[in-house]
Amino acid sequence: MKFKAILTASVCLLVTGLAVWLYQSHRPGPPEVLTNLAPAAPQIPHTRSLQKRLSTVSSGNPQQTMGSHVSTLVSGLSVVPKSIRPIFGLDGTTNFASRLTAVHGLGKDLKREELEALYAFLKTKNGTDRKSRGGEHVLKNDVMDILLEQMSPPQELADVLMALYQDHEQDSVTRDYALQHLVSYQQRQISDPLPNKERIEKTLWEGLAEIDSSIAGTALLGLHRLSAASPQMTVAGLDDVALKLAQSEEASRLSRITAVRVCAERRLEQARPIVLDLAQSGGDIPLQISAIAALGNLGAADEIGFLERLVSGENEFLKPAARTALQSLKERQTAGGGPTGR
């Protein structure tokens, strides 16, 4: 029964994501682009500028350091390993697809100099051009994936990711990716020492304050997932944070959408009025879709009629989430499982 609930929640999330995509791609005029992740060819920084950026990594500035376990990083382009040079756009490799291919060609047993060069790449600042910045985000995300997939995860990786998040000179998307991968790192490092786990937990709690971007939502989802796997983790107050974030009109759309999802997954009965209000309002379609999907876990018999009207209504964007939530809600009602708070 537990597996079925997890499967239903996953399907609901998938349907929600598809509905959001449909809304964004069919709405009148150009869609609101939070981050351009299209594989456009990034503008490669001038060599001298890039060398300056690399040298700042080992400058000793607390905001520029990559963690206590990281040795001095490359201070000049000549020492960047051959396997990593295309990722920086060196040796004439300025095409995005070629740079991404170089990332995906990296093995799972990287040498120390390769690891350090990748840390330096993560530390470079993205430009202001939206198309170029989107490509750099893709590259950095996939580099973090490669680092997590190493046969022997680097001991300093948690430090690297925490330092990247804490560097406010980085753009919010890069910092968000660092938090996401920090959670993935912790999920894989079951045997990590407790002090390291506590530092990661503290970093995620810090991220909850950044409600003006997606970072608060990422931190909330990370704490929610880690708490499920680590009984010793501090979760006091997490429910209250999820409720407040879902309700806050000052929070970014992405953080509120994530908060609604977390409320639903944690089966917080207190969130039902908030979710129902968002599901019935049409001011923000993606947020409304998320709330409709959450009714599958949080709704009561009173909401069946509302969901049925959405399914038979004229708004095609709302139907997939409503249909899946309705099925989940009816199954819960049949099984006698109403929403329960923690």
pLDDT in tens, 29-53: 322 222 222 222 222 233 233 334 3
User: Tens digits of per-residue pLDDT, 213-226?
Assistant: 999 999 999 999 99
* Alpha carbons 108 and 105: distance in angstroms, whole number: 10
Distances (CA, A) of 87 to 44, 173, 176, 235, 315: 10, 19, 21, 39, 44
Q: Residue 197: is its pLDDT beyond 90?
A: no
Distance CA 121, CA 139 (A): 9
The pTM of the full predicted model, rounded to 2 decimals, is 0.75
Mean pLDDT of 9-14: 41
Structure-token pair, residue 104: 């995906």
**pLDDT > 90 fraction of the chain, expressed in percent and rounded:** 59
| Residue burial 317-339, b: 16+ Cβ < 10 Å; e: rest | bbbbbbbbbbbbbbebeeeeeeb
Between 154 and 176, where is the model more confident?
A: 176
What per-residue confidence (pLDDT) applies to 233? 67
Those residues whose C-beta lies under 8 Å from the C-beta of residue 8, and which sit 6 or more positions away, are: 296, 324, 327, 328, 331
Low-confidence winner among 37-41, 54-58, 197-201, 330-334 (lowest mean pLDDT) = 37-41
Cα distances (angstroms) measured from residue 241 to each of 134, 223, 233:
30, 11, 16
Task: Choose the weakest-confidence range: 64-73, 163-172, 182-191, 280-289.
Answer: 64-73
Confidence of residue 227 (pLDDT cuts 50, 70, 90): confident
Q: Six-digit token pair at 5?
A: 């609930």
pLDDT at residue 333 in the model? 86
Higher pLDDT, 91 or 20: 91
